[in-house]
Amino acid sequence: MSESDGRDAFDGEMLDLIVPNSLHHLRIDRVLSMLTGLSRAQAHDVLTSGAVSVNDKVVLKSSTPLEEGQRLAAVLPPRPSDDVSPDASVAVDVVLDDEDFVVVNKAPGQVVHPGAGQREGTLVAGLLSRYPQIHRLSVEGLCEPSRPGIVQRLDKGTSGLLVVAKTPEGLLSLSGQLAEREMERTYLGLVEGHVSDERGLVDAPIGRSARTPTLMVVRSDGRNARTGYEVIARLDKPHAATLLRLRLETGRTHQIRVHLATIGHPIVNDLRYGHRRDARLEDERVFLHSTSLAFRHPRSDERVETKAALPKDLAALVPSTLGL
């Protein structure tokens, strides 16, 4: 979820093959199931997420027949795992600890949950060592074994606030608020170039790239996505850039990064969707920080609001007079 809520975030292995004669005329969901070990229901979910393409064209219908010689490509979900071990050595920066949830300030470079790229040392492992009760949530089937309590997530290169549920009541309430767009999520982002408007809204559907399914793009058949922005400051050195306050109205995979790149202002140091390498930041670090998070308390219904200042690596790139 940098800004993803995880519901459409298939970030596991890649499937890429030329359809052989033995699979000719078979339904695509059946083929996915046969080749990957996914259930038909799971294969259906992967298809409807837009993570599957045939000859570089996204296929959403489970009953679509395949033909010999076609190129089948798919981004598969991380394989469910129940072997996430608690790890007390993983740093967990707790901002707010409540009976039903914990708000943490994720460090840049930290992976939220196990996936194809990293199995050990994730934030989930650190959380399990401190809050072993969250394991119950996966045991009861309320979430995937590799993601106990995870309501939202941030990309590895993004820092800042995210909330993790500790009880079934917390998980159901917080997940519901996220789904109904009641959770308020604000980010600070530094983008390339000078943004001309003082504020604006990028309203453009997002889906997977047909040519490169690991990338997200704006496409007419994608899922609804809205990102609001407001200019905080325009900078001229060492190159033209604009510091923005960003508000998510939806939570698609890589939403902020895709939307800002689409309007010609990619996030600084985002080599996946941008083009400029900033030597002052680490290789997968992007100038994107989840700075405030607000939601209703799962039991009392009172407003809960948390804030996190810019970490040192990002604060060093903007004037200290901004007080961020």
Asked if 36 and 76 touch (Cβ cutoff 8 Å), the reply is yes
When pLDDT is cut at 50, 70 and 90, the band that residue 41 belongs to is confident
| Cα 67 to Cα 28: distance, rounded to the nearest angstrom | 10
Burial of 315 (0-12, 13-18, 19+ CB in 10 A): middle
- Are 231 and 316 in a shared domain? yes
Q: Is the residue at 6 inside a domain?
A: no
- Are 176 and 191 in a shared domain? no
Residue 136, classed as helix, strand or coil, is helix
Q: Is the residue at 151 inside a domain?
A: yes
Q: Is the residue at 152 inside a domain?
A: yes
pLDDT digits (tens, 9 = 90+) for 202-216: 999 998 887 777 789
Q: Is the residue at 55 inside a domain?
A: yes
Catalytic residue among 5, 29, 100, 155: 155
- Are 116 and 157 in a shared domain? yes
The mean pLDDT of 1-23, rounded to a whole number, is: 66
- Are 187 and 176 in a shared domain? no
Q: How many CB atoms lie within 10 A of CB 273?
A: 19
Which pLDDT score, from 0 to 100, does residue 273 have? 94
- Are 90 and 116 in a shared domain? yes
| Cα 293 to Cα 308: distance, rounded to the nearest angstrom | 9
- Are 224 and 286 in a shared domain? yes
- Are 150 and 238 in a shared domain? no
Asked if 216 and 258 touch (Cβ cutoff 8 Å), the reply is yes
- Are 170 and 300 in a shared domain? no
- Are 264 and 186 in a shared domain? yes
Q: Is the residue at 4 inside a domain?
A: no
When pLDDT is cut at 50, 70 and 90, the band that residue 2 belongs to is very low
Pairing between β-strand 288-296 and β-strand 159-165 as defined by DSSP bridges: parallel
Q: How far is CA 226 from CA 108, 204, 247, 301, 324, in A?
A: 25, 7, 9, 26, 25
Q: Is the residue at 274 inside a domain?
A: yes
Say if residue 15's pLDDT is above 90: no
- Are 210 and 288 in a shared domain? yes
135 vs 190 pLDDT, higher one: 190
Which pLDDT score, from 0 to 100, does residue 283 have? 83
Q: Give the residue from 180, 198, 226 where a domain finishes.
A: 180
- Are 237 and 308 in a shared domain? yes
Q: Is the residue at 219 inside a domain?
A: yes
Local structure of residue 71 (DSSP, 8 states) = E
pLDDT digits (tens, 9 = 90+) for 90-145: 999 999 999 999 999 999 999 998 765 566 779 999 999 999 999 888 877 787 78
Active-site residue, 155 included: yes
Write the CATH number for 263: 3.30.2350.10
Q: Give the residue from 154, 180, 206 where a domain finishes.
A: 180
Q: Give the residue from 134, 156, 180 where a domain finishes.
A: 180
The number of domains in the chain is 3
Sort residue 39 into left (φ over 0), alpha (ψ -120 to 50) or beta.
beta
Amino acid at 2: S
- Are 234 and 264 in a shared domain? yes
277 vs 78 pLDDT, higher one: 277
